[in-house]
Structure 1
Amino acid sequence: MTARTLDVTMQKIEKEINDNPEPISGMDTVYKFEIDGEVFQMRLKDQKAELLSESDKQADCTLKMSYDNFQKFLNGKLNGMTAFMTGKLKIDGDMTKALKLESIVKKYDLNI
């Protein structure tokens, strides 16, 4: 996995959400993703997804995992709770926001 690959992945997620913002209606959350040493932040607010530079905002929830597990999570092949319980996913911050993210991801076609 290269940083470029992850960058493209995050841009695709941003585009998919912005093309169909209904599932994030009413949200105002900043997620931080630490994937194989790369860090991305995404804000979901006002029915819009926006990639932020790493230090723009304090994250409500930080998810740490490998790129391989991140792909599986996005594709619905890795359950977030199972990943957390088995150490494949580490979560800092608001656990309910992490659970909410999984329900949102299921509403999009994020096969990456």
Structure 2
Amino acid sequence: MHDANTLIRRMPKAFKPEAAGSMSLRIVYAIDAPMTVIVEHGVCQVMDGAIESPDVVLRIRDKHLIKLMTGRMMGLTAFATGKLKVDGDYTLAAKIQHIFDREKLTD
């Protein structure tokens, strides 16, 4: 079983630059140990901690993020049931799942 931070650290490996295109996105995962994911110029970077002025903040418990990232929970379901709270650009938040290959997060 993976922890939430380990899964986030694997996001560059799962990143699909062709799906992201010219997208610029700064995501803060507000979890027990917050992390930031930055997508710019076809590159994905991950850093510990939260940056100021992100495009999207995802507020979610670690256990729910693990389910979301491993496909045991859908993003819309997590949002609709209050397990995921989104601050910032909802349009960009909706694109997150499309620019990462979930299978590569867990192998």
Q: Does the alignment reach a TM-score above 0.5?
A: yes
Which ranges of structure 2 fall in alignment gaps of 5 or more residues?
A: none
Which structure ranks higher in relative contact order (CA pairs < 8 Å, sequence separation ≥ 6)? 2
Write out the 4+ residue segments of structure 1 that deviate beyond 4 Å after TM superposition: none
Identity of aligned residues (%): 26
| TM-score between both structures, scaled by the size of structure 2 | 0.82
Cα deviations by residue, 1:31-78 (Å, 9 ceiling, x for unpaired): 01012x211111111110011353545210000111221112112221
| TM-score between both structures, scaled by the size of structure 1 | 0.79
What letter matches 1:63 in structure 2? Answer: L
TM-aligned CA distance change 1:108 to 1:21, over 3 Å: farther
What letter matches 1:48 in structure 2? Answer: V
TM-aligned CA distance change 1:68 to 1:7, over 3 Å: closer
Query: How many residues end up aligned between the 2 structures?
Result: 106
Question: Do the aligned residues in 2 keep the contact of 1:30 with 1:57 (CA within 8 Å)?
Answer: no
Q: How does 1:46-65 map to 2 (within 5 A)?
A: 46-65=41-60
Aligned to 1:30: 26
RMSD of equivalent CA atoms: 2.3
Q: Secondary structure at the match of 1:77?
A: coil
